A and B are shown apart, each in its own frame.
Chain A
Amino acid sequence: MSSAILTGQRKFRSQKKSNRIALIADYIVLSLLSLIWIIPILWIFLHAFRVQFNDAGEINGNVVSNFFPTRFGFDNFIDLFTARVNGVDYAFPRWMLNTLIVAVADCILSTFLILSVAYCISKLRFKLRKPFMNLTMIIGLFPGFMSMFAIYFLLKSMGLSGFSPTDDNRWMALLGLIIANSAASGMGYQIAKGFFDVIPNSLVESAKLDGCTNFKIFWKIILPLSKPIIIYTALMSFMGPWMDFIFSQVIIGASNTEYLTVAPGLYNMMFGAYADPSNFTKFAAGCVCVGVPITLLFMFLQRYYVEGVTAGAVKG
């Protein structure tokens, strides 16, 4: 180290200068990249508030060529919340409500299942532990879409029908979605397990010496220590239904418009079953309604997410 300084003041100075140039270059590159990364999101956001009229004096809802809208307003949001989609009045608020119901139910069921599996796998030792882990790994390797049709069919044969638009109890499809979503959730225990792994085993052992049952250890010692992972698991499973597109599309069905969740609903408004290119600004407004809360939640959870993903990735 000291020899490096002794080699000469001049070299040191020139190095400092080149460092500064490199730093400026970094700023420029990073700013450009940030711009590229932000453009599509910014674009959707701007056009959600766009109020642009066509030649006939009506509000133009199409995709337009100018990046920055000329006039702003809340008309798209008002339109979206009162719009009639595929013969269903107030479709968007309904989708929001459906998604909320599914999300809350999912959140409760999945958190319970995930935490109980993760705790067992992490802190208890039993004969079927390794086979269980291997089984979940193998099942996880099958593409989820392969069994999707079978799950749909299974729900139908279980009487959780209501998949065709003529049925009386079409809301049952939502129940089916909740069941299908949370049933498989127990298999996604890895991140929570990684968290429990970090809690020292000595804590469990000393409690056991004091005569605690395993249930008491879990309830009184482990759970109070696991607030971060409980929050993480709960919020992640709460966010799932807001983002899940394909599963709810298949289970509920695009024609069952009244009981769709937001993601397939917005997709079908724009590209799918009842697509209309003039729905674009409404679509953008819907994206803002769903995207802003989810994005904020994720930003809040980012730390846990990184910890979980990194732990999972590095440990395997």
Chain B
Amino acid sequence: MDTVKKNKKPNVFVRLWDSVRNWFVSFGKRFVDGSLGTKLSHFIFGAGNFYHGQIIKGLLYLLLQVGIICFMVFCPEVNGTPYGYKALINLQLGGTEGRTFDPETGEYSNSVSDDKLQLLFGLVTIAVIIIYVLLWLSNIKSSYKADTDQKEGKKPTSFKQDCGALLDNRFHILMLTPTMIASLIFTILPTIFMICIAFTTYNDVDMSSEETTLFYWNGFNNFIYMFSGQNALGKEIAARFLPVFGWTIVWAIFATFTCYFGGILLAILINKKGLHGKKVFRTFFVLTIAVPQFISLLAVRNLFNNVGPINSILMNLGWISEPIAFFGGTSGHPGNEYLAKVMVIIINMWLGIPYTMLMTSGILMNIPTDLYEAARVDGASRSKMFFKITLPYVIFVTTPYLISSFIGNINSFNTIFLLTGGAPEVTGYKAGGTDLLVTWLYKLTIDNGEYNTGAVIGIITFAITATITLITYRRSKAYKEEDTFQ
């Protein structure tokens, strides 16, 4: 039954067109079929509810409509920046208006902070308009439902019944609303804001030169600078972009696979039959997961310090004559870039192997033992059993983990920031030898105020991770059959 349905499914665009058409048809039908109240509620919120005697619900709708219209018309101001229709006009981002030229000092003073408020408030206003439209639709729907209830001879639901429904078949609305509101304000809105920033000229760099400071829409120019480098600033960024991008990918590949296979090997070692003290050994390794990362990483950083124990042991052994700057060193003595890269990967193994070990331990125990028995009877060697049974089984089960840890490593901020801080310094644009895209993004936005360039890098990072996820994750059985798991 299911497969037949799947085969007959028309393609995406046809389905989309169908659903859009159906939506408009039902919308028209409601207007024509509906009672006077429903027709009126297309213009006045809650009219249909009043018509059916649902006074409280109608009042709530009306209040929301009046509130939003007041918000749009009267434009409340915060810090001198208006919301409402004025915010929509401000969204054009006039550029020059936020900036004044002082002829006496010959300097530009700009009010970038107000400009970015304009963008933010414009986005908030758009969100309010979307909420208005959704309310409008829900108000028509609720009125139409009361119509059909009446036609079928039922009484329209009372306010008390509606509230009761929130605890029963509309329980999800009650439960999800807090999260939806919170994440709309603190996750979705900021993300959209930063995406918008990528298409503007917004940054705090170089207050005196004219072209960089004006705040206006810049189209795809930031992206173009990133790859081709048109002006002086763009050239510097473009010169560093490919090395950082390349290192991010190399890092992600190495960090993922070293930890993955190292963890599997360690798990096999620990879970060996006949080995005593499994728990003790496991505790030692799990300790690195349990200790907060900022502690363990900073501890390692100090351990490899110029005057730290590692360097002094090496010097006492006579292997080196002066301390090695393992993690890049100071600006006076920039260490070797490649040494720092290798060190970061090795320390990451120290951090990451226990994770994989913990995960695969459980999986190893689930491998059917008769597989090994059969192999032993056939005279297979230990290494053959490992490569032909254990490894394929573990890899098969943990592929989703492999993908998610790859993505996690692309965004692995803590390891790099706490270990090296991006050092060693490389001549170029505020990106050191071990900087990943995310740490570069952090440096550009938080330290240097280059918000637009930082946002471009954020979007590129998103593009990489999203591509990987879309290709692998959506194809996986786990995603498609998520429902059937229970």
Q: Are B178 and A310 in contact (CB under 8 A)?
A: no
Nearest CB of B to A31, in Å: 8
Q: Which of A23, A30, A184 has the most CB of B within 10 A?
A: A30
Interface size class of B (residues with CB under 8 A): 35 or more
* A141 and B362 contact, Cβ closer than 8 Å, known pairs A147-B193, A243-B292: no
- A230 contacts B by Cβ under 8 Å: no
Q: Are A157 and B308 in contact (CB under 8 A)?
A: no
Interface 1/0s, chain A 19-59, versus B by CB < 8 A? 10001001101100110111111011000000000000000
- A232 contacts B by Cβ under 8 Å: no
Q: Are A299 and B286 in contact (CB under 8 A)?
A: yes
Residues of A173-209 whose CB lies within 8 A of B: 179-180, 182-184, 186-187, 197-198, 200-201
* A313 and B186 contact, Cβ closer than 8 Å, known pairs A63-B308, A147-B191, A290-B292: no
Interface 1/0s, chain A 259-293, versus B by CB < 8 A? 00001001100110000000010010001001100
The interface residues of chain A lying within 8 Å CB-to-CB of B469 are 137, 141
Q: Are A215 and B168 in contact (CB under 8 A)?
A: yes
B contact residues vs A (CB 8 Å cutoff): 78-79, 116-117, 120, 164, 167-169, 171-172, 174-176, 178-179, 182-183, 185-191, 193-194, 197, 266, 269-270, 272, 274-275, 281, 283-296, 298-303, 305, 307-309, 311-313, 350, 354-355, 358-359, 361-363, 373, 376-377, 397-398, 400-401, 404, 407, 411, 413-414, 417-418, 421, 437-438, 441-442, 445-446, 451, 454-455, 458, 461-462, 465-466, 469, 473, 476, 478-479, 482, 485-486
* A38 and B287 contact, Cβ closer than 8 Å, known pairs A1-B377, A214-B168, A243-B294: yes
The interface residues of chain A lying within 8 Å CB-to-CB of B299 are 40-41, 43-44, 287
The interface residues of chain B lying within 8 Å CB-to-CB of A139 are 183, 187-188, 191
Q: Out of A27, A64, A187, A305, name the residue touching B183 (CB < 8 Å).
A: A187
- A101 contacts B by Cβ under 8 Å: no
Q: Out of A183, A197, A310, name the residue touching B359 (CB < 8 Å).
A: A310
A-B contact pairs, 19 of them (CB 8 A): A30-B270, A40-B300, A65-B309, A65-B313, A113-B179, A117-B175, A120-B175, A141-B407, A142-B462, A148-B446, A153-B116, A183-B185, A245-B293, A246-B417, A271-B421, A290-B292, A290-B295, A306-B362, A313-B401
- A95 contacts B by Cβ under 8 Å: no
Instruction: Give the distance in Å from the alpha carbon of A139 to the alpha carbon of B186 in the complex.
Output: 11
The interface residues of chain B lying within 8 Å CB-to-CB of A33 are 266, 285
- A66 contacts B by Cβ under 8 Å: yes
Besides A124-B172, A147-B193, A243-B292, 14 new A-B residue pairs in contact (Cβ under 8 A), listed by A number: A3-B377, A29-B269, A37-B288, A40-B296, A120-B171, A141-B465, A142-B462, A187-B179, A215-B174, A216-B167, A245-B418, A267-B298, A295-B291, A310-B363
Q: Are A151 and B186 in contact (CB under 8 A)?
A: yes
Q: Are B350 and A36 in contact (CB under 8 A)?
A: yes
- A77 contacts B by Cβ under 8 Å: no
**A118, closest chain B residue (CB):** B175
Chain A residues bordering chain B, tally (CB within 8 A): 97
- A218 contacts B by Cβ under 8 Å: yes
**A213, closest chain B residue (CB):** B168
**B358, closest chain A residue (CB):** A306
Q: Are A314 and B287 in contact (CB under 8 A)?
A: no
**B472, closest chain A residue (CB):** A316
* A141 and B292 contact, Cβ closer than 8 Å, known pairs A116-B176, A146-B454: no
Q: Are B458 and A201 in contact (CB under 8 A)?
A: no
